[in-house]
Structure 1
Amino acid sequence: MSKIAASARVHPLAVVEDGAIVGENAVIGPFCHVGPHVTLGDGVELLNNVVVAGRTTIGKATRIFPFAAIGGDPQSVHHGGEETTLSVGERCTIREGVTMNTGTSGGGGKTVVGNDNLFLANSHVAHDCQLGNHIILSNNVMLAGHVHVADRAILGGGCAVHQFTRIGRQAFIGGLSAVSYDVIPYGMLNGNPGILGGLNVVGMSRAGIERSVIHVVRRAYKQIFEGEGSVRANAAAIRDEYVDCAEAMEILDFIAVESDRALSSPNRGSKG
């Protein structure tokens, strides 16, 4: 039997399958379908014509708009029906036509979406993606499988992100960009193929980062990407110089991590 809180409101034209859990003050509108392994947190709202399937958990106060399909099987030829999951955090807004898939057994089995994220119409989060908090995916953004997006990144309309790519914290991706390589924290990438065009200075300022700190990070950026050596060699060579600047160290740590993808740079891609 389903476990539906007494304060929840379920429209008579909605289907909530046996086994589903629906929290306090949740609202399920007409023509919604909630699967048997779904958990909807307190205050979740499915407006109408929403499908939530699979082993999916939706965090409290998240709103999902019409024709979104959340928790469907991963779009992977390697998926054999394993019991994988999707977790969506609290206070997210998921607009019309958004799709999110569960994970795959070969990718850890979990797709994870953090809190306070905004997904605009027809954006897609594929299997095994890992998303942080306060992220914006604009209309028609496409994340392939295994993509990692850190906190407060903004992805412009229609951009496409290659599988296994990492996008660092507070990075900005321009509309219609092709993201084939990792994007550093605070990086700003545009174009097809995507080219790193500097730092997201406006975003850094809006986040309260002092101008003096931004100048330090810009100096580090120039040393990394305009130095004579490879990107990774340049980054390793300057670490001691920036130990007192958390933002610069965040970029250096990001570069130092082994990754399946190359690094975006002003020259499109660099193996470092």
Structure 2
Amino acid sequence: MTIHATAIIEPGATLGENVTIGPLSYIQAGVTIGDHCTIASHVTILCGTTLGDRTQVHAGAVLGDTPQDLAFLDEPSSVKIGNNCVIREGVTIHRGTKAGSMTLVGNDCLLMANSHIGHNVKVGDRVIIANGALLAGYAQVGDRAFISGNCLIHQFTRVGRLAMMSGGCAIQKDVPPFCITRSLSTNTVMGLNVVGLRRSGFNEGQRRELQQAFKILYRSNLNISQALEKLESEFTSELVRELCEFIRTSERGLCKFIK
């Protein structure tokens, strides 16, 4: 274990094996840091935060601070960050706003510089969130999604698995799994995330099936209920079932299609 002489580790913080903590970092009581983690300089990690094994936190990040929510009553809540994550400079992750609630970041995630994860957000595994992206309270991001630079995600909004938000776009409605949004736009999708699907090992048949499902959903002149009924009657694969389940559970509605 390597702890710089100027770092402050309060009694009651739990550090795993082979942890490195840099100059002027502050680890509050009630923090748990897993094995083989590296904490750079000027990092603040506050009570209720748990870091998984082999996670790296770069300079200036603040993890587990109180939520930016006027309804917050200073009750105990938490942040949990998974294994093998990389949290770059200036990232902020706020803890849950209600008593006993949690903000969750999965395993193998990359959170680039100055991105923000608001209270009670749920981020899946192998998610990339690029520089300056902002996720408001209770937003959800599915596994292997890619959130590009300076994207804005409204509170309670969902981004499906393997979806990609292009740079500078904003959403107040849900982005279905496997889709890609249009840059510098609001609440729009422009097609499937074909590159992401290919890189994730989806074969040609699976990609073709998702393209057919996308056409029914967005380019068939059917409303959402009619498209959903058609999808469920014509497809039986797990991928289309996942898409249908996401649609059925949407509370904010779906992003619209623009060519």
User: Normalized against structure 1, the TM-score is what?
Assistant: 0.92
Matched, 1:262 2:235: no
Partner of 1:194: 187
When the two chains are superposed, the root-mean-square deviation of aligned CA atoms in Å is: 1.4
Quick one: distance in 2 between partners of 1:241 and 1:71?
A: 46
Q: How does 1:29-108 map to 2 (within 5 A)?
A: 29-105=22-98
Aligned: 1:166 with 2:152: no
CA deviation profile, 1:149-168 (whole Å, cap 9, x unmatched): 01000011000000000100
User: What SS class does the counterpart of residue 105 from structure 1 fall into?
Assistant: coil
Aligned residue number for residue 122 of structure 2: 130
Instruction: Report the AA paired with residue 65 of structure 2.
Output: G
Equivalent-residue separation in structure 2 for 1:150 and 1:123 (angstroms): 17
Q: Larger deviation: 227-236 or 248-257?
A: 227-236
2:172 aligned residue: 180
Q: Of 195, 204, 211, which aligns to 2:197?
A: 204
Instruction: Tell which deviates more after alignment, 126-135 or 97-106.
Output: 97-106
The alpha-carbon distance between structure 1 residues 236 and 54, as it changes in their structure 2 partners (threshold 3 A), is: farther
User: How many pairs align?
Assistant: 258
- Could you tell me how far apart the structure 2 residues matched to 1:54 and 1:229 are? 50
Q: Please list every run of 5 or more consecutive structure 2 residues that lacks an aligned counterpart in the other structure.
A: none
Partner residue of 2:10?
A: 17
Q: Is the 8 A contact 1:118 1:134 kept in 2?
A: yes
1:144 corresponds to 2:136: yes
> Do the aligned residues in 2 keep the contact of 1:54 with 1:73 (CA within 8 Å)?
no
| Paired position in structure 2 for 1:221 | 214
2:233 to 230, 240, 260: 240
Gaps of at least 5 residues in structure 1 are 1-7
2:68 maps to a residue whose letter is: Q
* Counterparts of 1:181 and 1:214, CA distance in 2: 24
**Contact 1:177–1:192 (CA under 8 A) maintained in structure 2:** yes
SS at 1:238 equivalent: helix
- In structure 2, the residue matched to 1:230 is 223
Distance, in Å, in 2 between the alignment partners of 1:267 and 1:179 is 14
Matched AA of 1:152: R
Instruction: Classify the secondary structure of the residue corresponding to 2:175.
Output: coil
- Give the residue type in structure 2 aligned to 1:202: V
- Could you tell me whether the CA contact under 8 Å between 2:8 and 2:25 is conserved in 1? yes
The percent identity for this pair of structures is 34
2:234 and 2:187 map into 1 onto residues whose CA distance is 29
Residue 236 of structure 1: CA displacement? 2.3
